[in-house]
Structure 1
């Protein structure tokens, strides 16, 4: 890996069942990489001693809410920032309780890598299946299973190998293409930052070493076709004072994918017109080109009626409008279930449109990965739906573009976010049960 890649920022998230040791693992990473201030460590040691513990409870570094400290669980997503000589990290420690799965979806949605913890003494739990399914659903580039608490078993090697086989089988069923399994002890630090001498049967890298050498998603996003969802149209008041801005009409937004340069041909949807990029402004200054992740303002050679929610994209392969969206969703609303005929708002990139649920096409049973025909989706259910919308949306399959293939479902009355959705395209070959999620006589159509 090049020095440029290794010095980049990696976004990671942790997930797993309750008491699998997620917060302890995060605390161990921070402690052993010397990213904890002395006064923080002193405070944690005092609290740990008051609880009768012999050593510092590193989980206290991330369980910041009072309810979390009192109950000894993680409720909200805790974000931590740390760095090593190799690269910088943003880490989201996600809760393990099933009722907080929505927070796990939030934390994993922007992650380059998802670390799922599994207690070696308990094996694969329902939450393990759910979190790996969420990782596959969200298209997280790298999934890592940290098999924790290996220090509790006298023969951890045999248990680790058996559990690894089960995890690879589960990953294959879910269509996970990149899975790494690492035996760790978050409590003692085995294979977390440094390779452990107590696991001679494991010859792979430590968790931190693996994370330091993973490519981040920015390269992949910049390699995709150019797409810019328009956030607003800019007509500066300076036009009255400066001749430079008399005819200025800029289209501002964050580049979702790809790159753009002055002189590039672009297509505008829904206008259906092709034009040329005349100028690019980044942070108020002209630029010759810009890449995914940058917020920019483009001016175009032709006068086209463009408004918020429109899409400026590379002409080759630019998405055409659709009023029927087939997608896999994770239902996050604990107040009302999802049913056919339900009215929703669908937020796709910068566009919000009215919609109605046309059909529930199947729910994923996390125990056996079988399809179920259901009349409603309850909290944390994962399944496939069809949503009809009032205005055309310019979507692609989520596997082709995360930015153009993802959306939110919102309650029109309360404004609550109800679901995270990923657009499916049956013409695109997506491996695993989430690739073509439909209930058909009780079996997955894979």
Structure 2
């Protein structure tokens, strides 16, 4: 009895161990990614091409490991295509031969291919093979330029190639939940969306790490580093701090001492120049109203074009990008989609050129409106400063001059007067500034 019990327990343990890997990936099919075969073009196989094949194979094997796509990596994916063909006695990639290799690896799909060195880069030909149906599902052939055959560029190519063959997306979505109703969302310094009701959803982001920033009225700028995973929705909670800076205390302090009045030259006569106009400062008052109108006009232009850039122009650009990507089956670099579209148009054999030209056109329109918005920002600031200056000269300084002339005695000195303009410092633990208070 003890021997029977021991044997039974060992058999059960072996069964559980054998079933564990399949249970872990029961929800997804497996894909075996075989080492890419380097083809001799007649000039021999060099070490750089062999190294490129190994690095691209490894980068492709990393894609199913992320867990976001339709497949998981088959356990036997550390084999090379050439090695398996030799072990199986196959001279080529015949369907029956590849199906037998897939069965041996316990893989539902096989991804394999070859690399040929060309004058402009490496020609990479890939296939996705359905083991059970003994048929090729998808294939691709792309040239990877020599300048993009290492490091981050190679990893980016692996994402594109894997996505093209498997249908997996290399993009993710960022969902932001903030403690403010409205605000502007930046990724890597670029405006990507706006908070509405405390929430923003930004789709179509390439997998990677981004610098997130949020600006909202009455709050300090929020900054954080976030990571977007392909095929996933990433939620980020942002807690913005209120801006602690205040305009200044109610009592601005004692004003400065007034200057010395003019010297009396006789009864009722005072030296110096005093306006005798019925309404002193009239010229400055006219300029005040003119600059106020200019400020309002510039602010209106800034608002109109700013809303266009962040609203209609952004929507038009995203729609044009999606339309071209859906029709061509290719992806633009969303970190600089406009630049990518322009570079592609400069080349040859661009698929759906008309749709890509629509992307470039919407980008040009958005940039023009952004330039106008920036111009209006500058003119608004200048006009606002001029408005304050002309207000002071036309209403405050002229009134002070008129009152001083009436209060000067025949031979006395002008009485000390509290300054009409007071500089009010504003200091906080994080910022230092100042404000101007005008007393009437």
More helix by share: 2
Smaller-chain TM-score bracket: under 0.3
Rg comparison, structure with higher value: 2
More strand by share: 1
TM-score with structure 1 length normalisation?
0.24
